Amino acid sequence: MRAVILAGGYGTRLRPLTYTRPKPMLPLAGKPILQHIIEFLASYDFHEIIVTENYLYELIEGYFGDGFKFGVQITYFREDKPLGTAGSVKNAERCLDDTFIVIQGDNLTDINLKLVTNFHKKRQGVATIALTPVENPAEFGIAELNKRGQIVRFLEKPKPENCFSNLVNTGLYIFEPSILDLIPKDTAYDFSKDLFPSLLQEKKIYGYQVRGFWSDIGRPESLLKVNEWILSRMRKAPKEIPIKEGVLTEGAVTIGEDAIILAGARIFGPAIIGGGTKIESDVTIASDSTVGQRVKIGRGSTISGSIIYEDTVIGGDSRFDDSIIGESCEIGAGVTLSPNSVIGARCKIGENTKILPDTRIWPGIEIAPGSKIEGIIRHSND
């Protein structure tokens, strides 16, 4: 079976991070989201992978190439215009002559794919949707099943009062190639809004309730949540990794090559420190944090539950809580980032600046020293 990864979205809800890279290329625990997905598929022997792409596609192809170094074979299908979820799969029709799986390029999961595919084959339908229960189903497509697992009702993003089920569409599908005959060519066409309602009438669409972790990475808080989940699965670092005298590490901590960590630093796992990064003395890296490659963190700073992208410099005595900092930023001393703050690439944040919760700062912005920042910042205040 081949697998199709839908990686062409614009990721608007994750701006400013997605202004400089497509959502599937956002790093999580030191790897792009798309790499995690490819490794997950390969673990179930899906080695022929199709990637549908559009926005900033050159970053995807430049990183993965033909897939050889990741143990898979990747074929790319580029959309000249947005084709929707179903339309993008139709665009890859020439490679889909047998049962195939579709997965979203912004979903991470540990769903058992073997169980889903076995169910699909037994029911002999044309489509199977992997479904999972959630507490707040209104943001997703919801489904109701009969005793055989046929979907008898499906509604995309219902109002809270119209939620007849808590089983939501995970965006993971098993299809027969005949499904492609129902999708118009070169036309924007969506699985949930257009195709699935028509399949309900023919009673050929099934749902399989899955167990395990699943998350749609649509917002900064979900990016942090999934980063935490990946880190929680890390094993404790092997003893042969050298830790310099005077550096405290507890739990599962991964440290990249050529990283420099000075005496007095404290790292509490699970956490990842990228290669070439320098952490000065009296720095605390708290659990659930990922620090990218070639980052510099000044003396006395504390990083907790945060993601820091590559080539960023952080001054001393700063504190980041549950925040995301883009690549190549310059952050002065004494800066405070409150939960769910997001700083875009190449920003310059002046010393002693306080950034309040849920603030987003667009790429390339300069913030004057001593500022108090809140909301969406699109222009410099220097």
Cα–Cα distance for residue pair 35/21, rounded to 1 Å:
14
Choose among 28, 66, 92, 365: nearest CA to 230.
Answer: 28
Alpha-helix runs per DSSP H in the chain: 33-43, 57-64, 84-90, 113-123, 196-202, 220-232
Residue 283's nearest CA partner among 258, 308, 311 is: 308
| Number of other CB atoms surrounding residue 362 within 10 Å | 19
- List of E strands, 39-193: 48-53, 73-78, 100-104, 107-109, 127-133, 141-145, 151-156, 167-175
CA atoms within 13 A on the CB side of 106: 21
CA distance 136 to 168: 9
| 230, two tokens | 């990946």
106: left (phi over 0), alpha (psi -120 to 50) or beta: alpha
Whether 248 and 267 have beta carbons less than 8 Å apart is answered as: yes
Q: What is the number of alpha carbons within 13 Å of residue 80 lying toward its C-beta?
A: 3
Catalytic residues: 157
**At which residue do the structure tokens 């119209």 appear?**
162
Where are the extended beta strands (E) located within 251-370? Answer: 253-255, 260-261, 266-268, 271-273, 278-279, 284-285, 289-291, 296-297, 302-304, 307-308, 313-314, 319-321, 324-325, 330-331, 336-337, 342-343, 348-349, 354-355, 360-361, 366-367
Q: Which DSSP helix (H) or strand (E) runs through 206? A: strand 205-209
The residue among 17, 23, 16 whose CA lies nearest residue 362 is 16
